[in-house]
Every structure is written in structure tokens, then in C-alpha cells.
Structure 1
Amino acid sequence: MRRLIPTGEAARPVAFAELPPPVPEPDEALVKVEAFAPNRGETFLLEHPRPGLLPGKDVAGLVVQAAADGSGPAIGTRVAGHPAQGGWAEYAAVPTHSLAPLPDSVDSVRAAALPLAGITALRLLRTAGSLAGARVLLTGASGGVGHYVTELAVAAGAELTAVTATPERGERLAELGAEVVHEPAAAQGPFDVVLESTGGPDLPVALSKARPGGLVVWFGQASRTPATLDFFELLGGTERVTLQHFHYAGAPYGPDLATLVRLVAQDRLHPEIGRIADWTDTAGTLVDLRERRIRGKAVLLTGGTR
């Protein structure tokens, strides 16, 4: 079986290797991978890969071996899945609680683009609470998570301002109903909810945009620069702001993945896919994703996709 494994090289982060197919645990199904979608965070892990790392958390494909414990979809079911690792391969073992069946109307390309970014967006918005009529600020908005958050939040009635590095990266977000600015300082607050994903100097600026009693949810550090908060500066700023750390992780993922699939099937959620390529182009795609040259998601095809 062909699988992509880390090389530790910045210019070529992965290479093909021939390895045995995975042996599923009793609660795992074996999926023939048709498409997978790397995430920018995975590109950072590949810079100094830990021993045994098998990358790949977002896949779509066909169940070729059902779980031995009787859970999950049957052989022949098309699925989207969120394995813990190992998805950049011809076959992946996926826990059945991290699978969602696909209807005929949802192709493998869009399905592969859903898991990590879509589940993060869903859970992030649940953390934010009711958004009907709320003013929301979203930083680092042009990636996969940002597009899902924007479409879902606007549909829920939020007045959303999205921060992107360039006008080009904000075009689709504006089409979805967001006001687009290019640095947090330009956002016209105050905001009921601030969703902050860049860290570094942007975090204190975003924090200052919250209304008194507002909520700031810090869910990423895409700038890769640590943030510094000055207590006395905060004390002289907006009062009673809640700053909350967020991480999407926590199984089961299947129910949230099923919700995302349903929204796509109903034409209520539209994955932003900036690149579709054969998986022989994975190394170059990972570099472009790391360097922010892809808007939204990138999807790699192993062959036989629908």
C-alpha cells in the first residue's frame, strides 16, 4: 500500500512509501481513501516530525471492511472520516464514532474538506452561544475554518467582520455576507464576540475590540508568534471581558460530521476549496498551504473519486 510519510525537509515535507495496510481495531472501519485534505496545522508538525508520525486527519472514501464490533457503516458505504492520523494513504483505519455516511449528492472532494475545519467551526460557534443579532469579529478568516465560521455565523443572524491579510483572500467572505478588513485595528467595534486565531500582537488588539462583558475565544496562533497581554493595559480597557481558550478536540466526531454533510447536501454550506490536485502533488501543496498561498481548503485525490 502507498502512504505519504514525513521527510523532515521543508521543501518536500512528505514522500511516498510502500507499507502494509493498517489493521483496524475492533471499533474501526477500513476506508479506501478517495480524497484527503491537509490542514495548515499539520504542515507545522511536519517541520520536525515525531517518530512514527503518519499524517492525515481528513478523509473521504469507501468502507471496504466494517468494524468487527458491529458499529458504524457497512461495507460499500461512502463516508467522510476524521481519523487520529494516517489518512494520507490508500487505506485508513477510522474509528466508527468519527465517520459519517455520504449521500449521493455529496462528492468526495467536498466531503474530504469538511472534518477538522468544519467540526472546529461548529464547536467554536457553539462556544460563542446564540449569534442572532450579535456583532462578531473573526481574525485569520481566510482559511478553511474561517470560511465555515463565516457562512454558519451569518446564516445564524450574526453581523460578522472578518480579518484577512489581503482583499483577494477576503473576496469569498464578503460574498458570504461578512464585512472584510485587513487588520484587527481596522475593525469597527465593539463586538459581542471575538473569535481570535492569529495570536501574537493581534490578540491584545482583538481583545480591545470586545464590548464590556463580551466574550473573546482564542482558538489558534496562526502567526506562530506568542501573545503578550499587559494586565494593567487590560485593566484600563474594556471591563469584564471573558477570555476563553478553545480547542476543537473531543470525540465522538461523527455526529458533528453528519451535521456538516447534511448542510452541504441541503446546499446550506459550501466548502471553499482553493486547490484540487492529484496526491502526487501533495508535497508542493503542503508548502503552499504552509505559506498561505491557498485560500480555503486544499484537497488531494488518490484516484477514483466521485
Structure 2
Amino acid sequence: MHRMQRLIPTGNPARPVAFAEDVQPVPQPDEALIRVEAFAPNRGETFLLERPRPGLLPGKDVAGLVVQAAADGSGPQIGARVVGHPPQGGWAEYAAVPTHSLAVLPDGIGAVQAAALPLAGITALRLLRTAGGVTGRRILLTGASGGVGHYFTELAAAAGAEVSVVTATPSRGERLLELGAAAVVHEVTEAQGPFDVVLESTGGADLPAALSKLAPGGTLIWFGQAGRTPVTLDFFDLLAGCEGATIRHFHYAGAPYGPDLTTLVRLVNGGRLHPEIGRVADWEQTARTLVDLRERRIRGKAVLTTGSVR
């Protein structure tokens, strides 16, 4: 059996992962074996690592090289450079990834840029579809300075939407303005409504405040609780607010991911989508990076590159 290094949970929030030796994964017939060159953690994963469930192998966003093609003949062949979205286990030297969750990379996109795409990019694409036709519509996006926010802002603005974004600080909003945001505010209450669509991802007091910004018949799409404070809605406040509001819950998950990854790669390669990467570091710095990501000290995405482990 071939051995390899992977990162496993420690249960210690101050140092959430540590290196361990493991057996190289054996792919299922519809999986390719990828030599991981770069991976990108997501903030939601940092929360799971605070109290990790038994057997958790983190890592859902990877880029690298196919070293063993799927036995069923599907997907890319040996030697292809790919980006992938496995169900788990991506923070390792090798990962088995279903071929329906892979996309081949052109020469112009490196592993670091590609690794920043999967979860945040797929979420942004699917949010855009859920919002419906956005051309000419006014959209409010909370929690906008993470990976999803940057991708969604650029995609929606390019499609003709007027996007207002909520960020914690002015510096976090500068890049979003460059990507096409029409306005940046730092509290939901400061947003100049009404909005046709509100995308809410922070929870707590922000959701009811965002709901009050909806135009009559508008839609609020709830896709996260990054602030980690539960939402409380007063029904009588809701009655006194916007008329005919629709509240929808959204979750990005649902394979296959390959077609959306292929779309994201095409957009990046064509200069129409720009991954916002706030940190690139060797994977020896993963534990520190996870803490900084959890504490919102990184704008956009963080990407870790693999190499020899000392």
C-alpha cells in the first residue's frame, strides 16, 4: 500500500488540523485519483473542525493532476490537469474524486487559481440561477467579502444587475466595487432599498433587517449563518414590512458538479471571472490559515499548496 500525508482534525480550535500518515485512497470505479497540488478551505469547514465528528476527513476544493483515471472510462485521463470538488478528503497529497465532480483545466489557469473555484464558485452560480433573471433588478448581498460574495457580485453585475453589498469594512468593499458592485455599505440598515432580491448569509439581526429592505413581492434567499447567531423573526414585524415577501432557503449541494466547474473555468479563462485570493501559503500553514479564515482575517479565498512535508 502506498502511504501519504494528510491533514486530520485535532479538535483543538487553536490548531484545528495536524499532519498524519495515511494510506493513499483507492478510487471507486467512477473516481479518478488526483495528486493534489493546491486546495482551498471554506469558512464553513472551520466551524466543523471545532467539534469534528469521528472520521471527518476535511477538504472539498482541490486542483491537481490525474495520476489514475477512473476504471469505468469516464472523466479525464492520466496527466490531465483538473479542478475537483470531492465529498471529503481533499487536504492530502492524493484525493479520489468522482469524475462527475471534475473539470479539465486549460494551460492558462494554474492550480492555485483553480482551487479557489469549487464551493464558492458553484454556490455563486447556483445562487444566480435561483435568483432568476437579474438583468435590471436591484439585489442586496450580505456577507459579501468572502469567496461567494466576490464571485456572485462579478457574475450578477456582468448580467446587468444593480448589486449593493454589505461588508464589515471599507477596505473589504473596494474590490467589490471594482468587480461591479453599485454600492457598498457596512450595515444592512444602511442599504438604500427597496430591493427585488436579497441574498442573506450572516443571520442574527441581519436577516430581519434585510427582509425589511425588500420591494413588494420581492424574494429573500437565505443561504448561510456566518455570524453564527440564530435568526429571530417577529411575525407582526413581517406583516408591517414588505408585502408578499417570499423567503427561500438555499443550499448549493447537489451533484454533478463537473458542468458548473467547467463553466467557472471557461469564465476565468475568458477573463470574465476573477478569483479573489487573499492568501496563498504552503500547507504547513494550514492550521494558522484556518484560524484566520474563521476569524475573518482573510478577504476572499485562502489557498494552500502541497509540497514536501518537513
**Which of 33, 39, 44 lines up with 2:42 in the alignment?**
39
Q: What's the counterpart of residue 119 of structure 1?
A: 122
Superposed displacement of residue 176, structure 1: 1.2
Give the residue type in structure 2 aligned to 1:191. Answer: F
Matched, 1:231 2:235: yes
Paired with 1:302 and 1:208, the residues of 2 have a C-alpha distance of 46
Matched, 1:150 2:153: yes
Paired with 1:266 and 1:156, the residues of 2 have a C-alpha distance of 15
Give TM-score, length-normalised by structure 2: 0.97
Paired with 1:136 and 1:31, the residues of 2 have a C-alpha distance of 39
Matched, 1:56 2:59: yes
Residues 64-83 of structure 1 mapped to structure 2, 5 A cutoff: 64-83=67-86
Over residues 202-230 of structure 1, what are the superposed CA-to-partner deviations in whole Å (9 max), with x where a residue is unaligned? 00000010100011100000000000011
Q: What's the counterpart of residue 249 of structure 2?
A: 245
User: What SS is found at the alignment partner of 2:196?
Assistant: strand
Paired with 1:170 and 1:89, the residues of 2 have a C-alpha distance of 33
**Which of 92, 106, 109 lines up with 1:106 in the alignment?**
109
Tell me the number of residue pairs that the alignment of Structure 1 and Structure 2 aligns: 304
Paired with 2:119 and 2:176, the residues of 1 have a C-alpha distance of 19
Give the residue type in structure 1 aligned to 2:106. Answer: P
Q: Which runs of 5+ in 2 are unaligned?
A: none
Matched, 1:282 2:289: no
Q: Which runs of 5+ in 1 are unaligned?
A: none
Give the residue type in structure 2 aligned to 1:296. Answer: G
Superposed displacement of residue 175, structure 1: 1.1
Superposed displacement of residue 147, structure 1: 0.3
**Which of 279, 291, 297 lines up with 1:293 in the alignment?**
297
Give the residue type in structure 1 aligned to 2:287. Answer: A
Superposed displacement of residue 303, structure 1: 3.2
Identity among equivalent pairs (%): 80
Give the residue type in structure 2 aligned to 1:285. Answer: T
Give the residue type in structure 2 aligned to 1:20. Answer: V
Give the residue type in structure 2 aligned to 1:211. Answer: A
Paired with 1:289 and 1:21, the residues of 2 have a C-alpha distance of 28
Paired with 1:225 and 1:36, the residues of 2 have a C-alpha distance of 29
Paired with 1:161 and 1:233, the residues of 2 have a C-alpha distance of 24
Paired with 1:163 and 1:15, the residues of 2 have a C-alpha distance of 35
Paired with 1:208 and 1:231, the residues of 2 have a C-alpha distance of 12
Give the residue type in structure 2 aligned to 1:150. Answer: T
**Which of 13, 22, 29 lines up with 1:19 in the alignment?**
22
Paired with 1:154 and 1:287, the residues of 2 have a C-alpha distance of 32
Give TM-score, length-normalised by structure 1: 0.99
User: What SS is found at the alignment partner of 1:188?
Assistant: coil
Runs of at least 4 residues of structure 1 off by over 2 A? Answer: none
Q: What's the counterpart of residue 260 of structure 1?
A: 264
Paired with 1:40 and 1:29, the residues of 2 have a C-alpha distance of 26
Over residues 107-159 of structure 1, what are the superposed CA-to-partner deviations in whole Å (9 max), with x where a residue is unaligned? 11110000000000000010000111100000000000000000000000000
Residues 174-189 of structure 1 mapped to structure 2, 5 A cutoff: 174-178=177-181, 179-189=183-193
Matched, 1:192 2:196: yes
Paired with 1:303 and 1:195, the residues of 2 have a C-alpha distance of 38
Paired with 1:86 and 1:32, the residues of 2 have a C-alpha distance of 12
Paired with 1:278 and 1:213, the residues of 2 have a C-alpha distance of 48
Superposed displacement of residue 278, structure 1: 0.2
